[in-house]
Structure formats: C-alpha cells, structure tokens
Amino acid sequence: MTTVLAAGVFDLLHYGHIRYLEEAKKIGGLKTRLVVIVARDETVRRLKGIDPIIPEDQRRAVIEALKVVDEALLGFEDMDLDRVIQQIKPDIVVVGHDQDTIGAQVEKIKKARELDFRIIQISQFGEDDLNSSSKIKRRIVEGARTRS
C-alpha cells in the first residue's frame, strides 16, 4: 500500500481539482491510499488575506465524497506541515502546479527529518480558464456587474 498525500483549499470544487487528485492517486500506482489535507479557514485567512467562501467542514466533506479520495482531513490550525507529514507518513507528497510554497516547505521538512518520501509536482491541465477557483470567482463577479 502506497500512501500519497495531497493538499489544498478546495474552496469551490472544480474539474481541475479532481484531475489533480486523480493524477495524484495514479502516481501511487494500483494500491494507493490518497489522503488529502484540506486547509483550515484560519490558514486561508492568514495566507491569502480573505476568508474562504465555503467553511472548512463543508470543504472537507466535499473532498471526502470524491471516489478518488480515501481520506480527507483538516489541516492543523497553524498549517504545520511537519506534523501532518509525521502523522500521515506518506510515501509520496504530490504538490499542485500552483503550490510552489508548499513544495518548498515539504522539501525542507524532508531534508531536516531525513525522510525518504518522494515529492512530485503536477503540471497544470490544459489552459482551461475554469480550472482555477479564483478565475471562477472572477467570472461570477463579472457576470453580476454586467447584469447590474
């Protein structure tokens, strides 16, 4: 059994998220347990300066409702990746195309703790404008302006 760890905010779930998670699971091979860390509201607020639209419990429940996901957990309040990695003991940590900061943090933890999991960054799928929560939000806001 290979444990693959992925993470994200997943504020407005879209097809790009699912492709990312499916790709993460595929990397682990046939017998893979995909564990997904869903960022806490507090973490999003601190890192992005805005509240997520959907509260953390619902974001977590939606991710765990996906076929491809074996377990979805809320991140620690202080986004302590070190503790997450020690708890999940992943064989592979998959980092999204827009998660460079997380990738660097994971790399640092790996070195500091002399762990031997693999870190794999997944490239973006296509050029689709709707494979991004912020682009979806922009489209909603623009639609409202046009109508008002």
Q: Which residues bind its own copies (CB under 8 A)?
A: 12-15, 18, 50-51, 53-55, 58, 61-62, 65-68, 130, 136-137, 139-141, 143-144, 147
Q: Which is nearer to its own copies, 104 or 140 (CB)?
A: 140
Cα distances from 121 to residues 40, 58, 106, in angstroms, run 22, 26, 11
Shortest reach from residue 68's CB to its own copies, in Å: 7
Q: Which is nearer to its own copies, 47 or 141 (CB)?
A: 141
> Taking the CA atoms of the chain, what radius of gyration do you get in angstroms?
16
Shortest reach from residue 103's CB to its own copies, in Å: 25
Shortest reach from residue 93's CB to its own copies, in Å: 22
Within 10 angstroms of residue 101's Cβ, the number of other Cβ atoms is 10
Distance CA 45, CA 62 (A): 20
List the beta bridge partners of residue 6: 36
Tokens of 4: 């693959």
Shortest reach from residue 72's CB to its own copies, in Å: 12
Shortest reach from residue 107's CB to its own copies, in Å: 30
**Residue 32, phi then psi, degrees to nearest 5:** -120, 135
Tokens 């419990």, residue located: 57
Q: Which is nearer to its own copies, 123 or 146 (CB)?
A: 146
Q: Which is nearer to its own copies, 13 or 115 (CB)?
A: 13
Give the rounded distance of the alpha carbon of 129 from its chain centre: 18
Q: Which is nearer to its own copies, 4 or 12 (CB)?
A: 12
